[in-house]
Structure 1
Amino acid sequence: MSMLTTVATLRATQSGRAQPLTTVRHQHLDEKPFVLVPLTLAGEACAPLAALAGTDPEHPLLLTVRRPRDRDMRFRFVEELAALLLPYIEDCRADTETYTAGRGKEKEERERALRAPQLLVPNGEGIAYVRLLGRLTRLRATEGPHAVHPDVPRLGKWLTWLADQAEFPGSSTMLAASRLLTAHWATGQSSAEDSHLAALVAWIDPPEGSSGAEAARAAEDPLAWPPAGPATEPGFDTVLHDLFDRFEETAGQVRERVGERIDLALLAQLRPTWDLVWRGVGLARALPEGGRVAARWAYDRRWFTEYAAYLEEHGHPQGRRDRAVGAARRLARLEDAATRYAVERAYDDPLVMAEYELTGEAFSGRVVARDEDRLLPGARSPLWRPTITIRTDRPLRLETGAKVISPARPGQSAEIIDVTPHDGTHLVVLQLSGGFANKRKPPAPPGTLAETDEQLTYTVLSLDTMPTALPAEEDTPWTHGGPRQPYEPTEEDAEEEWE
């Protein structure tokens, strides 16, 4: 937990209401996300019991398994879920746009979908459930003994892809409502308690006349607010067990009536969580979207388009385990995504940047002077290097020579060339280069050089980080998972050394 998060948690405890950790929303929220609230049978890792699914907050679709230990009933549940989710995914592919990829001479035009699917689940356990369900279904055979409907493995591949994307920081194709909210608000309870969606929402948006702490205590009643799943509440398991026994013992119309009671009981467990997920979406939507969220969503749309094309061309399911080269590439992508996401959040959000100011990786201040006409001797001609002087009233940990960038002008690099203490503050002189609309001599184009009295933040964080470079698979040594060289016999193979 960071220092500012700790302070926000203490303030939430004192005030009785969740405190904001950000000023903007750092995740994309689609106008029409697909929400899935699953339940599993107690005692089994991924035995589907029921789910509420759909894109309409007022009219969710209920899927139930009245005999959850029956294999055929389980896969019928998956077929019903596929009938809802797969058309939604195909609708996202309906409209495309052309974009330019690559740099320099390697630029080329490509197509990507204007939308990508966005799957929302209540909590992190919901993401784990989707991953297990994908693993259970993506390798199933559609012919021969125990064949399943073709939509079952197809859905499994997409569920696995969505769960994989959920691991990448900044990706919005699959989100857990509890994680989305805790990334933007701090409550007065522990992180473990924040996984309880009802209590979390109560802290953020308590009823009128009640504090967040009081509302959270009331939300801990499992009768009023059942667990957000996919595990069920033990008391409900007893009721459900009795209903399942009666369902097995009866037949005909009596069995159907018992089945309807099972459906109603499961709906009563799922509907409060369904409403909480949509309520959480509304709370997050009230925050303005961060400036770099759209670019990350475009990246999601690109990966979605490429995977959809791969399924059409090849259709191979994901392996049970990553091969060495694939695992290394995935790890590199995860590390690059985490680094870039952290920097982009700081650039978009002054509250996030404040954490870096505390650690000495950034500073803020007011421009008190500028030298627009400053020139330095060059090899052939003078170099235009204007300066600005910033007064900061906070301790400065960056030293002379440090390279810094302002989020207000990310295309303009700066170097600290002097730091002078002055009346309890510091005067920081920055030498600027670039970001002047390709001009090489004064005057600076309007807006490219900071004005006097302008408030600015500078940081050593940079968006221009190079992605991890790994060799192609065919160039990777076999000791690191690359292809083995085919054996070709030679005459020397039969030779032996004799003493």
Structure 2
Amino acid sequence: MRALEHGEAVRIVRQRQVIIQPRAHIVTMLSMAGEDTSVHAVAIGRLGVPPQIKVVADPRRRDDQYELLRWLLPHFEAYYAQCRAEQTFPQLWVSSEGALGHLDTLADRLRFTDDADVQRLGELWTYAGERSPITGQQALISATSALRAHYATGQQETEDEHLGALLTWIAPPPGRDILAAVAMAEKHPMGAKTDPRFDADELQPAVELFNKARKDDDRRVQVFHAERIQQMIEGVIRPIYTATQAAMAILSRPEWLDNPALLPLAEEEAAQFAGFMEARDQGHRLPYHDSAKAAAFKIVARERTVDNVEAAFLRHDRAARERAVESGTVLRGTLVDRQKVRLAPRTFEYRMVLTTHQDSLHLRAGDEFWHLDDPKVCIRITEVERRGPFSWVSGIVEDGKRAAMELDIAAIFDFGPERPDWGGTVREFMQMGTRLAAPPWTHGDAVPAATPATRARPNDLLAAVEELVR
């Protein structure tokens, strides 16, 4: 509402929410209308570097399409090799979620072609594509999603997917109505598709003339129309590449504070990339569909990553913590009492009582909450009681008893989920591997033998069941 009132985007965080790798690659691709798995044109480069552009006059011809993809392969081979040498990870920036989906779809299709070079490119892109749905991943970044994590605009979230409109909200032209400026920005495509009117009025006739010249074997006319198509496409793809660069430049400004929560994400990304490339070196193929076991492992990894990323941001990102306090997933309370109670000789129990004015707390007896600023202290909730405008939360200290007794009365503390356990996924995989070594009969072809009943069957089954539930 404030952005709409002032006609300018509003910053919603002060700390950077994404990592920007020094050598991150900007990948801008356009597909032909009706050909979602094609690449009509590509612009590739880095922040502050002009793009290298390659255009195919008609990507429906497989040989021409493969020529463009082979042209891309050395760029990514060199970049991935450099990342491996530096023990870091590659990062690809695209303009929007639509462009991200286009690259992910291409990665799936290309690695099953009959051309070794194109197959290799598909494998390299698959790393970024498979990482894209993972919470906190830093391998494949959409410029629109990265900007939305830092700014709020006066339009709907779906409208923020147009990178040009989003940048207009962030840096509106002086002296102009913001909605009129956004409407002008939206006239230029910013995804993986060209404008339908442009396709019908300009591009399609040019492609038809190119194919006619090729059919007539008129090399001079063919080159003329190919260059004409290139000029048309460059007029579309260059602004998208430039807008992606602008988004990266905005997020690279020194005004954004460092975010320690991003450090473990970078380490995790580097470890995932190293494992992915080692598997390629060993000749392991990437299947089109995961097996049931592989899918189960990936689901577990995603769930664990969600918990770890949330815990990391709650400890180091002030905006994330404030949102969690507002929603009630983090307990922000004033310490009103702490006691050391003797239960038996040499046996003591440490108790704490906090008060909070939060209305929508998500906690109940038995939950464990950890001190977000002192990872040694953990309390187990024993009672939650509402007294007027305040909630009184009582708990027993499970870990960090000595540190808990040193906390100041009347001071305010934040309690939330346990600190991130980035190694927990590996341990859980080991447990799952042991359990899945012998699949249950429900997942096999063999049906277990029938077990004979030891009791006589009752005459009235319904009456017998009703008797059990009384």
TM-score by length of 2: 0.81
Match in the other structure for 1:200: 166
Identity between Structure 1 and Structure 2 (%): 22
The list of structure 1 runs, each at least 4 consecutive aligned residues, that deviate by more than 6 angstroms after superposition, is: 417-423
Q: In structure 1, what is the Cα distance between the partners aligned to 2:325 and 2:390?
A: 15
Distance 1:357-1:246 versus aligned 2 partners, 3 A rule: same
Q: In structure 2, what is the Cα distance between the partners aligned to 1:300 and 1:71?
A: 34
Match in the other structure for 2:229: 262
Deviation at 1:473, TM superposition (A): 8.3
2:191 pairs with 1:240: no
Deviation at 1:432, TM superposition (A): 4.3
- The aligned runs of 1:83-98 (5 Å cut-off) are 83-95=74-86
- The aligned runs of 1:98-497 (5 Å cut-off) are 113=87, 115-141=88-114, 148=115, 150-210=116-176, 212-220=178-186, 222=187, 226-237=188-199, 238-250=201-213, 251-286=218-253, 287-314=256-283, 316-366=284-334, 374-377=339-342, 381-383=346-348, 385=350, 387=352, 390=354, 392-395=356-359, 397=361, 398=363, 402-415=367-380, 424-425=389-390, 432=397, 434-435=399-400, 449-451=406-408, 454-459=411-416, 463=420, 467=425, 469-472=431-434, 475-477=437-439
Deviation at 1:430, TM superposition (A): 6.0
Residue aligned with 1:409, SS: coil
Deviation at 1:135, TM superposition (A): 2.4
Q: In structure 1, what is the Cα distance between the partners aligned to 2:65 and 2:318?
A: 49
Residue aligned with 1:52, SS: strand
Q: Which one has a larger percent helix, Structure 1 or Structure 2?
A: 2
Distance 1:454-1:171 versus aligned 2 partners, 3 A rule: same
Deviation at 1:77, TM superposition (A): 0.7
Q: In structure 1, what is the Cα distance between the partners aligned to 2:9 and 2:441?
A: 52
Q: Contact (CA 8 Å) 1:405, 1:413: kept in 2 or not?
A: yes
Deviation at 1:267, TM superposition (A): 1.3
Alpha carbon RMSD of aligned pairs, Å? 3.2
Distance 1:319-1:403 versus aligned 2 partners, 3 A rule: closer
Amino acid at match of 2:330: A
Deviation at 1:164, TM superposition (A): 0.7
Deviation at 1:239, TM superposition (A): 1.1
Q: Contact (CA 8 Å) 2:47, 2:249: kept in 1 or not?
A: no
Deviation at 1:84, TM superposition (A): 1.4
Match in the other structure for 1:494: none
What CA deviation, in whole Å up to 9, does each residue of 1:308-365 have, x standing for no partner? Answer: 1111111x33112111111121122222222332333333333333333334332324
Amino acid at match of 2:262: V
Amino acid at match of 1:375: K
Residue aligned with 2:40, SS: strand
Deviation at 1:65, TM superposition (A): 0.6
TM-score by length of 1: 0.77
Q: In structure 1, what is the Cα distance between the partners aligned to 2:408 and 2:108?
A: 57
Q: How many residues align?
A: 433
Q: In structure 1, what is the Cα distance between the partners aligned to 2:91 and 2:118?
A: 20
Q: In structure 2, what is the Cα distance between the partners aligned to 1:455 and 1:227?
A: 50
Q: Which one of 52, 55, 66 corresponds to residue 75 of structure 1?
A: 66
Residue aligned with 2:433, SS: coil
Amino acid at match of 1:347: R
Distance 1:417-1:282 versus aligned 2 partners, 3 A rule: same
Distance 1:254-1:185 versus aligned 2 partners, 3 A rule: same
Q: In structure 1, what is the Cα distance between the partners aligned to 2:110 and 2:416?
A: 47
Q: In structure 1, what is the Cα distance between the partners aligned to 2:98 and 2:343?
A: 61
Deviation at 1:302, TM superposition (A): 0.5
Amino acid at match of 1:198: G
Decide which moves more: 154-163 or 132-141.
132-141
What CA deviation, in whole Å up to 9, does each residue of 1:450-488 have, x standing for no partner? Answer: 446654322356646965552348614276768x99xxx
Residue aligned with 1:357, SS: helix
Distance 1:449-1:76 versus aligned 2 partners, 3 A rule: farther
Structure 2: segments with no counterpart, 5+ residues: 447-470
Amino acid at match of 1:74: Q
Amino acid at match of 1:343: A
Amino acid at match of 2:278: A
Q: Contact (CA 8 Å) 1:325, 1:480: kept in 2 or not?
A: no
Q: Which one of 12, 19, 22 corresponds to residue 28 of structure 1?
A: 19
Deviation at 1:380, TM superposition (A): 5.6
Amino acid at match of 1:256: V
Q: In structure 2, what is the Cα distance between the partners aligned to 1:396 and 1:331?
A: 30
Distance 1:385-1:163 versus aligned 2 partners, 3 A rule: same
Decide which moves more: 399-408 or 427-436.
427-436
Q: Contact (CA 8 Å) 1:27, 1:289: kept in 2 or not?
A: no
Residue aligned with 1:470, SS: helix
What CA deviation, in whole Å up to 9, does each residue of 1:175-234 have, x standing for no partner? Answer: 1111222233332222221211111222233234456544322312x2xxx212211111
Q: In structure 1, what is the Cα distance between the partners aligned to 2:67 and 2:440?
A: 43
Distance 1:87-1:379 versus aligned 2 partners, 3 A rule: farther
